[in-house]
Amino acid sequence: MTTIDEAALGRALDQLPLRFKGPGGVAGVVKDGQIIARRAWGYADLRARLPMTAALRLPICSITKQFTCALLLDQVADPSTLDPRIAEFLPNFEGPLPTVKQLCDNQSGLRDYWALTVLQGAVPEATFRREDAMPLLARMKTGHFPPGTSYSYCNCNFRILSELIEATTGRALGDLYAERLFAPAGMTTATLLPDSRVPADGVVGYEGNDEVGFLPAENGIYWIGDAGISASLADMLAWEAHIDATRDDPCGLYTRLSAAPSFQDGTPASYGYGLKHDTVAGVKVTGHGGALRGFRAHRLHALSERLSVVVMFNHEANARGAAVALLEAALGFAEPEKPGTPEGWDGLWLDNDQGLVLRTTADSTGVTLRYATSPARLAVGADGGIHGEGVSLRRQGDGLLMTRAAENLQVTAPPLAAVNRADGLALAGRYWSDELEAALEIDTRDGATFAGFEGLLGAGPMERMYPVGPDVWVITTRRSMDAAAPGDWTVQLRRDDGGAVIGLTLGCWLARRIAYRRIA
């Protein structure tokens, strides 16, 4: 077990407000079941001049997911007995349905319903009520992949789990959290706060950055077991201490949650029961991050070191980066010197199987890959490949070979030929998705092309649309009801024998390969 470098940890904590700029934040470290350091800086509400403290509750966002899975294990002796009930939530689904365990492990293959809200015409600031969720889920007909074969992050997995827990127990989820999880762990102020329009304790979440300034974020989402818990830093450090206290109990909930996951074919996976399994500073860790508009959070637990880190911001800086920096400092880890400047890595590529564009941009320190919800940073490896968290890239002739081991996914992507201009008038019109029962309107005005989505939730804002290759476009979505936004939607056109556009396929990492046919 490593001795903590207290001096380095103190410096890293002191640097957080400068490295991760924003209105306010909290961070803490637990070692051997004891709090050894914590910080609270800035303001919970800039206008009201409310200081941030370790006692104020912030949304823990998707960290909620592990508590939902813990409650499932606590309340249901054999979760597989609930498998037949999943059909109640997906009455129109074609093909094999996921199991409860596959929901817990993000192996369901379902498209993320927060990405689908964009395609259903949601306005980013609109209210999304609890009763809006089930009709949206019920429309799902297909998924990304057969359940159990791959990984795809999906909030609706945990929405279904939450509804199953309540239906099975006949009790409210918030009451069960409080009684079965929060009280035993000493999380005295933690609560399920589903309505994100009014955060706890007067805390305000902020959008923006230090360059353009910070504005209060508008959230109108009713969360439940996917991202609904609010807790103080004191609560979260109590949870970490509780994990340490129960570390030797084979029946302890966190011990059961953190069991090594695998895919259906036995291949090791890196996500299970609402926990991500990773290696930081050469040490195996479990943890999870969270993001709602205006808030970011992350926790990491290293069992072998009996060491935990928690970071929460009321702004949208990189909470995971902050948590990793603290863990590395505590362990006295020095980042190895990176190899030289990558060459020949600027380009656009097309993952035909997933229907997604890959964009790589090189600079003096590495390569930025844009493919999933947020850019991934990669560095040159000794083997000549480009590697980052959970992803590796290699050149394969003119194409690109991408390995995403955590997702059980390997992608061969040919390059996209450059286009300087494209005829937006050829695709302007109205399209319909039988999958979503929703519409897409594309309009071109003097060379500028826009797309607007309409569906169950109304008519959303018009979004810019740009050509990136022959018959390949992107629709940029930088803001949505959930955070992070879907990012770039890849659009692949379909033409008839005469060359007329008759339809398209649209998708992002969270919601892939959705077909639309032209109706006007």
Tokens of 304: 């072998």
Show Cβ contacts of residue 212 under 8 Å, excluding neighbours closer than 6 positions.
none
- Catalytic residue selected from 31, 65, 101, 276: 65
Environment class of residue 126 by beta-carbon count within 10 Å: exposed (0-12), middle (13-18) or buried (19+)?
middle
Q: How far is CA 265 from CA 55, 57, 103, 153, in A?
A: 45, 41, 17, 19
Q: How far is CA 192 from CA 16, 175, 183, 305, in A?
A: 28, 8, 13, 31
- Catalytic residue selected from 21, 31, 62, 262: 62
Q: How far is CA 367 from CA 31, 280, 344, 427, in A?
A: 35, 20, 10, 33
The verdict on whether 21 is a catalytic residue reads: no
The verdict on whether 62 is a catalytic residue reads: yes
Show Cβ contacts of residue 59 under 8 Å, excluding neighbours closer than 6 positions.
193, 196, 199, 205, 227, 229, 230, 290, 292, 295, 297
Residue 140, CA atoms < 13 Å, CB-side half-sphere: 34
Contact (Cβ atoms closer than 8 angstroms) between residue 436 and residue 460: no
> For the CA atoms of the chain, what is the radius of gyration?
23
Which SS3 state, helix, strand or coil, does residue 502 take? Answer: strand
Q: Which of 43, 78, 38 is nearest to 58 (CA)?
A: 43
- Give CA–CA dist 227/297, Å, rounded: 11
**Residue 244: what residue type?**
D
Contact (Cβ atoms closer than 8 angstroms) between residue 264 and residue 148: yes
Angle 466-508-380 (CA atoms, 0-180°, nearest 5)?
90
- Give CA–CA dist 516/457, Å, rounded: 18
| Strand intervals (E) in 315-428 | 347-351, 356-363, 366-370, 376-380, 386-388, 391-396, 399-404, 409-413
Q: How far is CA 429 from CA 30, 119, 425, 432, 444, in A?
A: 57, 16, 8, 10, 9
The residues that are catalytic are 62, 65
